[in-house]
Amino acid sequence: MRKILSALFSIFVIAVIVVAVYFNQQFCLKQVNKVKGMYYVHKGDKAYRNLEMQQAIRFYNRGVKLFPGHYGAWYNLGNIYVAYEDYQSALNAYAQAFNHNPRMMIARMNYGLVSSQMLGDFDSALEQYQKIIKTKRKLLSIPYVFNNKISYKENKAIAYYNMGVTYRLKSLYAHDNYEKQRKYMSKAIRAYEKSIEIYPDSYDAQYNLGVAYHTIGDYERAGQCYCKAIHLSPMNYEAHYNLAVLLRRMRHYNEAYDEIDKATALITALDENPAIQEYVVTVFNEITRNVYQNPEYRQYLKRILEEEKRKTAQEIAKGSKDTKGKKDNVSVSSEIRLVNGKVVATDELDSAVLENFGQCPSSTYFDLK
């Protein structure tokens, strides 16, 4: 009897499943396709990690055809299309990603970057940056486990920064319409300032804010921003170079010479594009001529020579009494070390170079606070 009841129950369950499937064919087909789509996305992820891009495109396209809501696959497709410079396909893929997941900020960010910098569609880019800024998220922080506050702030700061870059590009494309140029540049300045409010230690935001102020002729604020950028990242040549150009325009040739000298040294050390090197050297030579022709240069040079003489006299007096820095064929100082006649950099020397490049003696001209 129990066997009969068990068999009847099994038949009943199967019948219920069959009826359910019959009346919900679309739902069941969707679930089957979703599983198949996940399988192809998995294969696409594997090909993507192995840099087999054509294979990845093929698998991802199969996957999203079966499971259109897989926003991760759409996002990766967008990245691959950018690599192949197929920007329209990339935009479509990114749009699919954030349409299926409106909180996928990275897809919106990439959409904006491709739109503005690759296709010149500035308004579409600004629309996405605005949506990133306006998107509200529940902030959650679990010590040592999870914290989305940082990523949320970063997204807003980057979105504001990208807005600034986009408005600056819009101003460049305004051509001879000076009213539009100033309007867009003012918006760029506000966007950079918003980004800096969130992350004051952003070199890129400080530097580009300086460029914006420099462009509209606000030299004091431009100089402040360049000096802050130099302090944040002393070994980036751009801020040194732009500050030199600004100081030359203000006729502070000695300080301009110091900054262009640093910029030239950094460009040479970083082996930058030869065209950039040649252009900076041209500016360097022009500033050098201005320095030599400047009536104040003789006084400046006289002070330097007197200071050098004083230091040399002190070192000679000290050196006659102090021989502790020598041992066999190795001589040691606080900044450099000579081994068999060769200079070996020390941590002290690195720190001294970094400190020197991070200084901004001309800050007094810009009322820096």
| pLDDT one-digit tens code per residue, 149-203 | 557 788 899 999 999 999 999 998 887 888 999 999 999 999 999 999 999 999 9
How many residues are given for the chain? 369
Residue 115: the pLDDT is: 95
Predicted pLDDT at 27: 53
Nearest of 265, 292, 266, 264 to residue 280 by alpha carbon: 264
CA 317 to each of CA 3, 239, 314, 323, 336: distance values in angstroms, whole numbers, following the listed order:
111, 40, 5, 12, 20
Is the pLDDT at 45 greater than 50? The verdict is yes
Examine the pLDDT at 292 and tell me if it is beyond 80: no
pLDDT value at residue 79: 95
29 to 13, 15, 18, 60, 62: CA distances (angstroms): 20, 19, 14, 20, 16
Identify the residue whose tokens are 């749009």.
Answer: 95
Per-residue model confidence (pLDDT) at position 136:
76
pLDDT value at position 334?
44
Task: Of 228, 267, 263, give the one whose Cα is nearest residue 242.
Answer: 263
Question: In whole angstroms, what separates CA 89 from the centre of its chain?
Answer: 24
Based on DSSP, count helices (H) and strands (E) in the chain, helices before strands.
16, 6
CB atoms within 10 A of CB 353: 15
| pLDDT above 60: residue 309 | yes
Is 331 in a helix, a strand, or coil? strand
User: Which of the given ranges, 67-76, 298-307, 334-343, has the highest pLDDT on average?
Assistant: 67-76
Which position has the higher pLDDT, 57 or 321?
A: 57
Average pLDDT score over residue span 307-334: 56
Measured between alpha carbons, how far is 113 from 120 in angstroms, rounded to an integer?
10
The percentage of the chain sitting over the pLDDT mark of 70, rounded to a whole number, equals 65
Model pLDDT for residues 251-272, shown as the tens digit of each residue? 888 888 888 888 888 887 766 6
Per-residue pLDDT, 256: 87
pLDDT tops 70 at residue 346: no
Confidence of residue 19 (pLDDT cuts 50, 70, 90): very low
Residue 132 CA to residue 126 CA, distance in Å, equals 10
Q: Determine if the pTM surpasses 0.85.
A: no
The mean pLDDT of the chain is 79
Q: Are 343 and 337 in contact (CB under 8 A)?
A: yes
pLDDT bucket at 325, cuts 50 / 70 / 90: very low
Q: Could you tell me the pLDDT band of residue 15, with boundaries at 50, 70 and 90?
A: low
Token digits of residue 99: 């349409």
* pLDDT single digits (tens) 92-150: 999 999 999 998 999 999 999 999 999 999 999 999 999 999 987 665 445 544 455 55
Q: Is the pLDDT of residue 224 over 90?
A: yes
- The more confidently predicted of residues 235 and 353 is 235
Tell whether the model's pLDDT for residue 232 goes beyond 90. Answer: yes
Question: What pLDDT is recorded for position 88?
Answer: 96
What percentage of the chain exceeds 90 in pLDDT?
46
pLDDT at 8 (0 to 100): 52
Cα–Cα distance between 258 and 235 in angstroms, integer?
Answer: 14
d(CA 163, CA 133): 10
